[in-house]
A and B are shown apart, each in its own frame.
Chain A
Amino acid sequence: MKLLFRLLSFLSAFRWQAAFAILLGCAMIASNIALLGMAAYLIAAAALAPLLVTLTIPIYIVRFASVSRAGSRYLERLVSHDVTFRLLAELRTWVYSRLEPLAPAYLQAYRSGDVLTRLVSDVEELQNIYLRVFSPIMVAIAIGLLTFGLFSLFSPVLAWTALAFLAVTGFGVPLLAGWLARGLGEQQLALRAELNAHIVDGIQGVQDLLACGRASDQESKIAHLQSALGRIQGRMAFIAGLQQAMNDLLMNLALWTLLILSIPLVISKAIDGVYLGFLGLVILASFEAVQPLGQAFQFLGHSLAAGERLFKIAGAIPVVRDEITSGSRLAVLTTDNGHLPNNGVTGAAVSTPGPGLVYQEQLSAPEKLFGPILEFEHVHFKYAPGENEALEDISFCAAPGKRIAIVGPSGAGKSTIVNLVLRFWDPTAGVIRLDGQDIRQHALADLRKVVGVVAQDTYLFNDTIRGNLLLARPGATESDIEQALEQAQLADFVRQLPRGLGTWVGEQGLRLSGGERQRLAIARTLLKNPPLLILDEVTANLDPLTEHDLLATLDALMQGRTTLIITHRLIDMERMDEILVLDEGQVRERGTHEQLLKAEGLYHYMLDVLHPAYR
């Protein structure tokens, strides 16, 4: 109940429209009651009264009712859809703003099971709460009372009987059907989930299935599940049919019972016989209000379940708190307004080969690109209390413009370091400093302005290439974009697309290859132009030839920026200023490529035994 009120509270912003739509819904059914009732009265009166004048008012009512029936129905549909779309917009922005602080720490737990897709469909489910749940129930109650009122004008017995039949049909029949079908819905869902899993298996695993000659096995598994599903759906159809039949039966039984009750009243002259047909048609027409309730209760069940899931996710507490407001000292590091101390960087930048230089001259003054000092001081981290430490006593210092590589087998804790720098989580102990100041002292927005990340899985939005690039710098000019693409070596590719920068990428458009995706990510980061760069397994999903092609581009991106490179592929290690070999959350070895080779430790083993291809 509390949940229901919480859901309905989303309506409060447009409660007047909602109330108006309900009023119109009542008017629509009341018009039909008036139309049919008065038509019956008209005929009966005409059979008795010989004068046309006595029929004038009923005739006007009939005419008015037929117009207002159509009009109120039209308006009701418009207004109620308006309310529904408003509700949907409200729910979406609410969910989004609740999720925003949770990403990615909390959402990471959900990456697998399409929970996000689920969440989106939950939001869509909830839009029904007004149109299909709240509004029909309110209209049914109002029309029930109206019918009760009408019949009370004739006899309280008739009024109570009518109300009882309406209530039993509106609330009793859905309850009965729900009781009969209990468990069937879950069974159907479970079967459909299993069926789905097998269909996904069959389609995604088609190569393995065919190669193993197991296609017919999968087909028979699906046929088996399908017939089980058919049996459940058959039972549900039996109950749904019963529900419809009960609605029909109760409507006509109400008519029959009211006849039985009113006939003696007519004979005893308690009721004028002219109203007998009127009463019959009023009760028949009033049932229009209770027919949709069966569906309404089904939707109510779905909406409550969807609401519960949403509130659970939305109620989670962010793992990182943003306590500092934007505009703190770090903001000056960002390239838009940055005045980083010029400590002889210009010389280094000028020595950069070709394209790097051009880029720097055009996009920003070279001295801004030297990057801040990033320091880890005895950092410890656990993802959850009771778990093993993901990082144990990590210390390093990345001086401006230097490149630090963090290497090690998968699961060593490399990506955790990235998550900590970006403050997706905070360390359990120890301090991370940026430019000498604890990163918790910086506003999250400022911190993330300074850091650029190119990761293993680049997320591209369903948008144009331009849209995906502008994300990094909304105010970028065409020539900025051109420059960035040129430097990411993507310009030729974009030029040969028929719609160029306006080409859609992602599900609706162009499917980019792994290498092209990464180049787009690099171009995006070039536009952002951050002084601190993190490369997180950038080439892990690429085939080695594409990887090789990308190395030069990455090198250009790193020029003049403090860079943290996370990798388990030991490529280009000669160019690193320091290499940290991470294993099980600890730094096992550190030094330059040559020092580490000489030491003949883990690094040497990885390079020599496990990845001889990289020597």
Chain B
Amino acid sequence: MHKTLFRSIRHARAALILTIIPGLLGTGAIIVQMALLSKVVNSVFLLHQGLAQIKWLLLLLLAAIIVRAGLVWIREIMAQKCAIRVKSELRRRLFAHLLQLGPAYSKGESTGELVATISEGIERLDAYVSRYLPQLAFSVLVPLVIVIYIFPLDWASAVILLVTGPVIPLLMILVGSYAEKQVQRQWLALARMSAYFLDAVQGLPTLKLFGSSEAARKRVALLSDGFRERTLKMLRVAFLSGMVLEFMAAVAIGLVAVTLGIRLLNAGIPFETAFLVLLLAPEFYRPLRELGVHRHAGMEGKAAAERIIAILETPVPYSSAGASDGALGDNRATGADLSARPCHSERSEECAPCPHNQLTITFTGVTYTYPGSEHAALDNVSLTLPAGSFTALIGRSGAGKSTLVNLLLRFMDPQHGHVTVNDVPLAEWPVEVWREYVALVPQRPYLFYGNVLTNIRLARPDASDEKVEQAAELAGALEFIRQLPQGFATGIGERGARLSAGQAQRIAIARAFLKDAPLLILDEPTSSLDARSEFLIRQALERLTQNRTVLVIAHRYNTIAHANQVAVLENGKLVKVGDPDELLQPEGIYAQPGSPGKAVFL
């Protein structure tokens, strides 16, 4: 696992080694300290020397103590440096990859989980990288160094350590592998428990309406108690591995002490050596014990790393043309060769002179199936959006309308068939360049962290204040923006003003005016907005749809009535294309049965 992670991160391995080196030097300092200490005790206890006679020994001891602490400090800093580097590199990559995967992927996953992976999941790698991984190395290297040092001093004790040492990880693995699965399951149950609690709290109004809030409280208590009992049953086994470690370490130290004592009685070993071996014995087991402490962090980190790698390895759903930022240079060259392109530069300002009504878009036999789905979201769809025309796309939710739009925006590429723009296959356009020619007004526009000005400028970050203001005016948004506490500088979102759905819609329309792109894609809101917004948006859209190729996912009678052509999708198939009069006839498929020609719900 960590190999895959580390291979992808430059210098991470070097940083890890820089953590291990001070750690091992620290072990050296401990050995020196303990050797000096046993010498001091020996001199005082057996040789009856006073402070004056051993002052150099004591000063050396002090020096070893200070060096040891210094090495701890360096090791900690290095470990964190390594973790910080891994975290920032992974977060950057993960985010970039998610952007490339696009809205189709984010929609299928739970947003909360993705955000949690990028923010919390990556932070969880902290303990994994800075504690667990170095500790893994220490738990092998430090006991080895100590036992190699002890061996020439007293081989009998070294053998005791050597025999008991490997038994500990062995037993821990035996007990652990049994308990591990149970532990994982219980942590999952714990997470579910708090999810249940959150669910009950969030659903309190509903529970109250059904008079079940008291029952839910009892259930919270009952579930918590049941969880506690089951968890404790499991922990009784899981904690055994910790007990085994403690027991083996304690027994081995005791054994070392007793055998040393007996050999001392027989004068088989000098006191100084015996005392030194006793001092070093706990140091032999310390790294293993600390590994046990960091094991949980290690497991958590591992789980997080698995999820991160899974996301990073999800393939990007469109062909490589312009997909990777690194390849942008090549794409420019490719782009310039497209003779039929309306504009030969990808810089948007230079596109300004491009005539707006020049894009003709053709779908030919387009089929798209989402990964993991059995049914095609779009099935052999052929449709032409003539230059400068207004096409209304209608159909029930799930009919494939959003898929069509996503393909047009190249959030993914079709598996069969192709989309052409002025007879040039869309796949030959670098993605970034193509999107300069498209303006999108989504059904629920997303407003970003920041103020009103930056939110409108999203379409064109270098636009002047006047241009932004003009776009806002055209979108019918200027009036409400002026009434906000700080006008265009008013923050949006949690910290700032909350905009109504209608106001957000108008911000998105202002973006589209500012972008001034030859193709406009509009996803009409299904729910009706407040009256004033509804009125202003209608006016703004009339202005916006002039002189462009327009594709609208339409829900409103008015919109459909004004279209040049109406395309009807049903279960991924294009079932009808025609002009609105034809489709809105009483016998047309979308007229409401029972009240001929009157009420239309789209």
Contact = CB atoms under 8 A, between A and B. Distances in A.
Interface centre among A66, A77, A219, A568 (most CB of B within 10 A): A66
B242 A44 contact: no
Given A70-B250, A77-B242, A548 B592 contact: yes
Interface stretch (A110-118, A360-368, A379-387, A491-499): A110-118
A216 B61 contact: no
Interface in B184-239: 194-213, 215-217, 220-221, 224-225, 227-228, 231-232, 235-236, 239
B486 to A, nearest CB: 19
A600 interface: no
Contacts of A82: 228, 232
Contacts of B73: 241-242, 244-245
Nearest to B91: A226
A543 B232 contact: no
A252 B33 contact: yes
Given A120-B201, A206-B106, A256-B61, A471 B264 contact: no
19 contacts: A31-B250, A40-B278, A44-B271, A67-B251, A70-B243, A77-B242, A82-B232, A89-B224, A93-B224, A205-B448, A212-B459, A237-B84, A241-B77, A445-B211, A461-B206, A471-B210, A543-B396, A544-B555, A545-B602
A78 B253 contact: no
Given A47-B46, A85-B228, A263-B44, A208 B442 contact: yes
Interface string B106-119: 10001100110011
A434 interface: no
Q: Give 10 nearest A-B pairs by CB, closest first.
A: A241-B76, A237-B80, A89-B224, A205-B446, A66-B250, A39-B257, A70-B247, A613-B557, A249-B69, A103-B204
A99 interface: yes
B527 A540 contact: yes
Contacts of B194: 120, 123-124
Interface in B36-80: 37, 40-41, 44-46, 48, 50-51, 54, 58, 61-62, 65-66, 68-70, 72-77, 79-80
A85 B225 CA distance: 8
A85 B232 contact: yes
A430 B528 CA distance: 32
A599 interface: no
A204 B95 contact: no
Interface centre among A35, A240, A277, A614 (most CB of B within 10 A): A277
Contacts of A204: 106, 111, 446
Interface string B537-573: 0000000000000000001111000000000000000
Nearest to A534: B209
A78 B236 contact: yes
A51 B264 CA distance: 11
Interface string A594-615: 0000000000001001111111
B555 A39 contact: no
B415 interface: no
A576 interface: no
A252 B254 contact: no
Interface string A91-111: 011011101100110010000
B438 interface: yes
A209 B411 CA distance: 11
What DSSP secondary structure best describes chain B's contact surface? helix
A213 B206 CA distance: 42
Given A204-B106, A218-B99, A211 B435 contact: yes
A173 to B, nearest CB: 12
Contact of A252 (B46, B68, B274, B442): B68
A257 B393 CA distance: 85
Nearest to A74: B243
B253 A35 contact: yes
A67 B265 contact: no
A422 B77 CA distance: 59
Interface centre among A47, A244, A264, A471 (most CB of B within 10 A): A47
Interface stretch (A57-65, A139-147, A302-310): A57-65
Given A62-B254, A100-B213, A201-B446, 20 more contacts: A73-B246, A89-B224, A93-B217, A93-B221, A99-B204, A100-B204, A100-B208, A112-B494, A120-B198, A207-B102, A207-B411, A208-B440, A211-B409, A215-B99, A230-B84, A449-B211, A545-B396, A547-B601, A548-B592, A613-B556
Contacts of B51: 260, 263-264
Interface in B15-50: 33, 37, 40-41, 44-46, 48, 50
Contacts of B183: none
Interface in A18-46: 31-32, 35-36, 38-40, 42-46
Contacts of A74: 239-240, 242-243, 246
Nearest to A38: B257
A35 B250 contact: yes
Nearest to B99: A215
Interface string A536-567: 00001111111110000000000000000000
B515 interface: yes
Contacts of A611: 528, 534
B221 A569 contact: no
Nearest to A195: B119
Contacts of B508: 208
B155 interface: no
Interface string B428-467: 0000100110111010011111000000001101000000
B262 A233 contact: no
A210 B46 CA distance: 80
Nearest to B508: A208
A210 B103 contact: yes
Given A35-B250, A210-B99, A543-B555, A610 B264 contact: no
B483 interface: no
A144 B242 CA distance: 25
Contact of A610 (B76, B411, B526, B531): B531
A311 interface: no
B31 to A, nearest CB: 14
Contact of B44 (A202, A276, A513): A276
A179 interface: no
Interface centre among A59, A70, A219, A422 (most CB of B within 10 A): A70
A327 to B, nearest CB: 13
A203 B98 contact: yes
Nearest to A408: B531
A132 interface: no
A237 B494 contact: no
Contacts of A545: 396-397, 601-602
B598 interface: yes
B377 interface: no
Contacts of B440: 207-208, 211-212
B44 A266 contact: yes
B92 interface: yes
Interface string A235-247: 0111011101110
Nearest to B409: A211
A528 B210 contact: yes
